[in-house]
Amino acid sequence: MIAVDPHKASNTAAVLDPVSKTLVESARFANTADGYAQLTAFAARWAQRRWAVEGCHGAGRSLAQRLVADGEMVLDVPAKLAARVRVYSRGHGRKTDKHDAVSVGLAALDGAGVLPVTSDGALVSLRLLCDRREELTAQRTQAVCRLHRLLAELTPGGMRRELSANKAQALLARIRPADDVGRVRMHIARDHLADIRALDARIKYIGTQIAALVTASGTGLTGLFGIGPVIAGRLLAEVGDVARFATKDAFASYNGTAPIDVSSGDQIRHRLSRAGNRRTSHALHMMAVTQIRYPGTPGRRYYERKRCEGKTPKEALRCLKRRLSDLVYYQLLADRRGTIGACGSPTTPPPTRSTSTSPAARSHQAAARPRPAPRPAPKGSSRWTGKTAASPASRSSTPAPGSTTTSSKRPKSTAKTAAS
**134-179 pLDDT tens trace:** 999 999 999 998 988 888 888 876 666 777 888 888 888 888 888 8
Residue 392 pLDDT exceeds 50: no
Residue 298 pLDDT exceeds 70: yes
Q: Which of 181-185, 228-232, 320-324, 390-394 bottoms out in mean pLDDT, i.e. has the lowest?
A: 390-394
pLDDT for the residue 244: 82
pLDDT for the residue 339: 56
Residue 196 pLDDT exceeds 90: yes
Q: Where are the beta strands (DSSP E) in 35-139?
A: 51-54, 74-77, 115-116
- Residue 226: name the closest of 419, 48, 394 by CA: 394
pLDDT for the residue 331: 94
Please tell me the pTM assigned to this model.
0.68
Confidence bin at 273 (pLDDT 50/70/90): confident
Residue 406 pLDDT exceeds 80: no
Dist. CA 409–CA 184, nearest whole Å: 68
Residue 376 pLDDT exceeds 80: no
pLDDT for the residue 389: 41
* Upper half-sphere CA count for residue 131 (Cβ side, 13 Å): 8
Residue 240 pLDDT exceeds 50: yes
Confidence bin at 78 (pLDDT 50/70/90): confident
Residue 118 pLDDT exceeds 80: yes
Burial class (CB in 10 A: 0-12, 13-18, 19+), 252: buried
pLDDT for the residue 137: 95
CA distance to 70, 75, 76, per residue, from 118 (Å): 12, 9, 10
pLDDT for the residue 91: 60
Which residue(s) pair with 11 in the sheet?
6, 29
Residue 377 pLDDT exceeds 50: no
Q: Which of 165-174, 260-269, 324-333 bottoms out in mean pLDDT, i.e. has the lowest?
A: 260-269
Q: Which of 54-68, 218-232, 403-417 bottoms out in mean pLDDT, i.e. has the lowest?
A: 403-417
Dist. CA 234–CA 280, nearest whole Å: 7
pLDDT for the residue 158: 64
pLDDT for the residue 53: 94
Dist. CA 331–CA 220, nearest whole Å: 7
Higher pLDDT, 34 or 165: 34
Dist. CA 131–CA 129, nearest whole Å: 5
Cβ 149 vs Cβ 155: under 8 Å:
no
Residue 269 pLDDT exceeds 60: yes
Dist. CA 50–CA 3, nearest whole Å: 8
Q: Which of 51-60, 73-82, 407-416 bottoms out in mean pLDDT, i.e. has the lowest?
A: 407-416
Question: Which amino acid makes up residue 158?
Answer: G
Cβ 83 vs Cβ 125: under 8 Å:
no
Residue 355 pLDDT exceeds 80: no
Residue 420 pLDDT exceeds 50: no
The region that residue 325 occupies, defined by phi over 0 for left and psi between -120 and 50 for alpha, beta otherwise, is alpha
Q: Mean of the pLDDT values across residues 193-217?
A: 94
Chain-wide mean pLDDT for the chain?
A: 80
Higher pLDDT, 325 or 86: 325
pLDDT for the residue 380: 44
Q: Mean of the pLDDT values across residues 373-388?
A: 45
